[in-house]
């Protein structure tokens, strides 16, 4: 999928060593409303995500994270700049599970499989496999109201994977969960990312979550959203959210995030 409005040369300094990318944003700008009448939400974002990479986009509320993810998902178009996602259309997972309450967990997944073109005869077995993958084997017949918040997000994750893309876009998917459930789901997404060799672009305002999960943390500034700084995270996986390595880096990144928020408050 390629979204091209104005063509820009490839951004300098964003090449991966072998030039391969699963997602490429080059000089992306986004303004809502008529150009010139509103302040830009995103300003000159250039970012490559390598195949198989796990990147978290971190920023204060309202800085344009969801806007950016929606652009990558193809739900909206940039005002200027280009976005390239060479593989299948990426799957998008939100904080709200958005499951159909009148369908069972299994049927919700089968619907996504149908939309992805999986033949009818294979859907049931594939839905069962995906439920096993998110450790919900046996939940095929459960309805949404019978599932806890964490289980619903597991079904939502299985449904995202059913879309058959290797690129998974996650918009604060665990933000509404309690800390312990969130911690367990961090382990699960790390395991599934590595087993399935997914490319993940994960949005959060939670610094510890960003460091716990990612190989790279990209900090966005506020109004307009620009890339303020990046950190490569070499701590071994699986990580613990309370480990010293995660805590130390979180303190450093939080200082930068605070700086961004202070700068924003002073300007507004």
Ligand X SMILES: Nc1ncnc2c1ncn2[C@@H]1O[C@H](COP(=O)(O)OP(=O)(O)O)[C@@H](O)[C@H]1O
Among 56, 67, 165, 199, interactor with ligand X by CB under 6 A? 67
In the beta sheet, which residues pair with residue 41? Answer: none
- Paired with 104 in beta bridges are 143
Residue 64 contact partner, candidates Mg ion, ligand X, none, CB within 5 to 8 A by sort of partner: ligand X
Contact in structure between 64 and 30 (CB atoms under 8 Å): yes
Q: How are strands ordered across the β-sheet holding 23-30?
A: 2-4, 80-84, 23-30, 42-49
Name which position in 12, 17, 61, 117 contacts ligand X (CB under 6 A): 61
- Give the CA distances from residue 20 to residues 45, 149, 214, 229, 255, in Å, rounded to whole numbers and listed in that order: 18, 37, 19, 22, 32
Interatomic CA distance for residues 102 and 82, integer angstroms = 39
Least distance between ligand X and beta carbon 228 (Å): 13
Give the shortest CB-116-to-Mg ion separation in angstroms: 26
Query: Could you say whether residue 63 binds ligand X (CB under 6 A)?
Result: yes
From the list ligand X, Mg ion, none, pick the one residue 63 interacts with, judged by a Cβ distance below 5 to 8 Å according to partner type.
Answer: ligand X
> Could you tell me the two tokens for 196?
């399935």
Q: Which two tokens stand for residue 109?
A: 């997944």
Q: Which stretch binds ligand X (CB under 6 A): 4-12, 54-62, 86-94, 190-198?
A: 54-62
Among 65, 152, 186, 226, binds ligand X (CB under 6 A): 65
The residue ranges that bind Mg ion (CB under 5 A) are: 66
By CB under 6 A, residue 62 contacts ligand X: yes
Q: What span, in angstroms and rounded, lies between the C-alpha atoms of 240 and 187?
A: 9
Strands 199-204, 54-58: pairing kind: parallel
Evaluate the CA torsion angle 51, 66, 156, 100 in order and state its sign: negative
Helix axis angle, 149-162 to 105-115, nearest 10°: 20
Q: Per CB under 6 A, does 72 bind ligand X? A: no
32 or 100: CB nearest ligand X? 32
Pick from 26, 50, 53, 59 the residue near ligand X by CB under 6 A. 59
Q: 2: how many CB neighbours lie within 10 A of its CB?
A: 10
Residue closer to ligand X, measured from CB, 68 or 213 = 68
> How near is the Cβ of 225 to ligand X at its closest, in Å?
7
User: For residue 32, which phi and psi values (nearest 5 degrees)?
Assistant: -90, 145
**Residue 267 binds: one of Mg ion, ligand X, none (C-beta under 5 to 8 A by kind):** none
Query: Tokens for 20?
Result: 């391969």
Give the residue with the Cβ less far from Mg ion, 130 or 177: 177
**Which residue number, 94 or 239, has a Cβ lying nearer to ligand X?**
94
Asked if 97 touches ligand X (CB under 6 A), the answer is no
Report the residue closest to Mg ion, judged by CB. 66
Residue 41 near ligand X by CB under 6 A: yes
What is the closest distance, in whole angstroms, from the C-beta atom of residue 4 to ligand X in the complex? 21
Interaction site with ligand X (CB under 6 A): 32, 41, 59, 61-67
């Amino acid at each position: 999928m390629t979204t091209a409005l104005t063509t820009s040369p490839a951004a300098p300094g964003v090449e991966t060593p072998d030039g391969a990318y699963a997602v490429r944003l080059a000089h992306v700008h986004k303004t809502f409303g008529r150009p010139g009448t509103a302040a830009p939400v995103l300003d000159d974002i250039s970012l490559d995500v390598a195949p198989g990479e796990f990147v978290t986009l971190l920023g204060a509320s309202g800085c344009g994270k969801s806007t950016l993810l929606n652009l990558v998902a193809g739900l909206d178009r940039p005002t200027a700049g280009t976005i390239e996602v060479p593989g299948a259309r990426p799957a998008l997972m939100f904080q709200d599970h958005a499951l159909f309450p009148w369908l069972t967990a299994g049927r919700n997944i089968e619907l996504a499989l149908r939309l992805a073109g999986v033949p009818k005869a294979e859907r049931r077995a594939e839905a069962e496999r995906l439920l096993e993958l998110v450790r919900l084997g046996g939940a095929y017949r459960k309805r949404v109201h019978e599932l806890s918040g964490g289980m619903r997000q597991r079904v939502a994750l299985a449904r995202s994977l059913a879309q058959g893309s290797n690129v998974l876009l996650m918009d604060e998917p665990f933000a509404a969960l309690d800390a312990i459930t969130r911690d367990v789901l961090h382990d699960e997404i790390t395991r599934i990312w590595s087993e399935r060799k997914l490319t993940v672009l994960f949005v959060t305002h939670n610094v510890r979550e960003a460091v716990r999960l990612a190989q790279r943390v990209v900090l966005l500034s506020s109004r307009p959203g620009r890339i303020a700084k990046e950190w490569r995270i070499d701590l071994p996986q699986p990580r613990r959210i309370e480990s010293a390595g995660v805590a130390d880096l979180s303190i450093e990144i939080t200082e930068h995030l605070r700086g961004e928020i202070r700068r924003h408050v002073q300007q507004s």
